[in-house]
Amino acid sequence: MKVLFATSEFTDFAKAGGLGDVSAGLPRALRYRDIDVRVLLPAYPEVIAKASDITIVAHLPGRAGIEPCCIGQTFTHDGLPLFLVLEPSLYQRIGSPYAAPDGHDWPDNDVRFARLSLAAAEIAAGTAGMNWAPDLLHVNDWPGGMAPAYLRWQGARIPTLLTIHNIAYQGLYHRDRMQTLAIPESAFDVNGVEFHDRISFLKAGLFYADHVCTVSPTYAHEITTEALGGGLHGLTSGIAAEGRLSGIVNGIDETWDPSRDPHLPHHFEADDLSGKQSNADLVRTGLCLRHSDGPLFGVVSRLVHQKGLDIVAETARDIVYEGGQIAILGLGDPDTEHMLSRLARSHRDDIGLLIGFNESMARRIVAASDFCLMPSRFEPCGLTQMQAQRYGTLPIAHRTGGLADTIQDGETGFLFSELSGEGLLAACRRAFDAYDDPEVLSEMRQAAMARSFLWSGAAEEYARLYANLIGQCLPQAVPVTRRRTRRATDELATAA
């Protein structure tokens, strides 16, 4: 199979969230299954700086207000092919893939990601003038959402798959951008791209894609509900009823191994956790926390409302009172950062906070902690809870989305259903009880570390889904056996 994987992030070069990790991990795992997958990515400054030997393989014309572009080809260090959408006026900017350094979205994000979507559609349809075309197009989240629509509007029948990593981000733009984005007037309809009198990139993907996938089975159900469907639950529930909605849990890469992680000062294994305690001592020292024989609770997260960090702040006093400490690392919205800064100042010896993100420190906190706090309001998949279990760190998490699918309550972590300070505190008290019983704690840690969350499992499920979609879009096979039988009968009749 040949698959074009279109994404707005790729961890090797440019990452804003978990999508970058998925875009780097899944295509690599698919190639081990002999799938010819190639990644399509905007050529941000970080990409140009890190990529080498970029070869121009196509020149794509503009359309309406969408700029023309070139497609460059390069390869990752391990040979994964990348196609880069090269258009300096759209992508050569300092900032994140989506926002300027001040945190505000680029005002022309609609054109920037319409260009990505249109390039994906042109390559998939075989109209880009390249010597390679895929059997299937796999797009991700709202930045790629217009690609299935562009394909449908030009009459191409290449099968398309949309993966929703977070339905809360939908790519909404004013209806007066229709002509700029080369959207036909007839498509501004409830059966099209229209969403509350605006253009929705994500709805376009949902409506026009052949199949929709989310990043966990529980989240696949949740997006069909009014509470967590982001206003699109009517459409998603219809897609589910048609059998066109799946949930496949993400994976984590093989470097999440406590016995050889280069970011850890001290390595350890399930049968010898002395290195885990040594890492904890270093983390406490680095965050200026007092020495403690109590449990360390880690938080490595985007500091945003979704992650339930206000609930952590609400329970922090009780966690500290009962002998625990909290180590927090993350970057996010100013209000959440200020709230956690005030919390850390009020408990200087027992709550440490680092605003920002550092891969080495993130891994050290995950490895050093006894428990990992994840009271997310919703969590499509989540990676930290899987990474934590590999390091013998037991997650304490709200029973939602991928958290519910990847944590075995009472065996490899602790789940709670009531999203409140009381709910989180009750789960933390269960964790304190386990910590005070060395036999129980050891059994849970070993069970957690024995779990495998590698990309190979997800890749196998995606490969099956790809094969089914490609098979559904193939022309009906000619009944060769029947034709041969009839021909043989005619020849016998003639001979007679």
CATH number, position 443? 3.40.50.2000
Cα torsion through 365, 458, 272, 396, rounded to 10: 50
pLDDT surpasses 70 at 488: no
Residues 135, 233, single domain; the answer is yes
Kindly state whether residue 495 falls inside one of the protein's structural domains: no
Kindly state whether residue 458 falls inside one of the protein's structural domains: no
Kindly state whether residue 106 falls inside one of the protein's structural domains: yes
**Angle between helix 109-125 and helix 146-153 axes, rounded to 10 deg:** 50
The C-alpha atoms of residue 117 and residue 152 are separated, in whole angstroms, by 12
Residues 38, 187, single domain; the answer is yes
Residue 68 is classified by DSSP as: P
Mean pLDDT of all residues in 84-97: 96
Q: What is the pLDDT of residue 472?
A: 86
Kindly state whether residue 258 falls inside one of the protein's structural domains: no
CA angle 466, 469, 473 (to 5 degrees): 135
Domain span including residue 386: 274-449
pLDDT in tens, 439-482: 999 999 999 999 989 999 999 999 999 999 999 876 654 443 33
320 contact partners, CB below 8 Å, separation of at least 6: 326, 347, 350, 351
pLDDT surpasses 60 at 483: no
Copy the structure tokens of residue 185: 């007037």
Residues 184, 327, single domain; the answer is no
pLDDT surpasses 90 at 103: no
pLDDT in tens, 8-56: 999 999 888 889 999 999 999 999 999 999 999 999 999 999 998 999 9
Q: Which of 60-74, 89-103, 285-299 has the lowest mean pLDDT?
A: 89-103
Residues 179, 322, single domain; the answer is no
Kindly state whether residue 381 falls inside one of the protein's structural domains: yes
Kindly state whether residue 57 falls inside one of the protein's structural domains: yes
pLDDT surpasses 50 at 209: yes
Residues 232, 295, single domain; the answer is no
Q: 108 and 90 in contact (C-beta within 8 Å)?
A: yes
Copy the structure tokens of residue 308: 């339930």
The C-alpha atoms of residue 236 and residue 242 are separated, in whole angstroms, by 10
Residues 294, 372, single domain; the answer is yes
pLDDT in tens, 137-195: 999 999 999 999 999 999 998 999 999 999 999 999 999 999 999 999 999 999 999 99
pLDDT in tens, 379-409: 999 999 999 999 999 999 999 999 999 999 9
Q: What is the pLDDT of residue 358?
A: 87
Cβ-in-10-Å burial (0-12, 13-18, 19+) of 45 comes to: middle
Kindly state whether residue 85 falls inside one of the protein's structural domains: yes
Copy the structure tokens of residue 286: 């680095």
| pTM for the whole structure | 0.90
Q: Which tops the pLDDT comparison, 258 or 477?
A: 258
Query: Which residue has 């999203």 as its token pair?
Result: 419
pLDDT surpasses 60 at 271: yes
Phi, psi of 401 (to 5 degrees): 45, -135
352 contact partners, CB below 8 Å, separation of at least 6: 283, 284, 286, 287, 288, 289, 325, 326, 327, 328, 344
Q: 162 and 148 in contact (C-beta within 8 Å)?
A: yes
Residues 242, 363, single domain; the answer is no
Residues 284, 394, single domain; the answer is yes
Cα separation values, 151 from 117, 136, 287, Å? 10, 12, 52
Residues 27, 173, single domain; the answer is yes
Cα separation values, 292 from 129, 277, 315, 342, 372, Å? 64, 11, 19, 22, 17
pLDDT surpasses 50 at 484: no
Mean pLDDT of all residues in 373-381: 97
How many domains, the chain? 2
Residues 230, 283, single domain; the answer is no
How many percent of the chain have pLDDT more than 90?
90
Please compute, for residue 210, the number of CA atoms within 13 A of its CA located in the half-sphere on the CB side.
20
The C-alpha atoms of residue 170 and residue 80 are separated, in whole angstroms, by 29
Q: 258 and 343 in contact (C-beta within 8 Å)?
A: no
Residues 238, 283, single domain; the answer is no
Residues 230, 287, single domain; the answer is no
Q: What is the pLDDT of residue 475?
A: 60
> Amino acid identity, residue 152?
R
Alpha helices, DSSP H only, in 126-259? 146-153, 201-208, 217-222, 233-241
Kindly state whether residue 480 falls inside one of the protein's structural domains: no
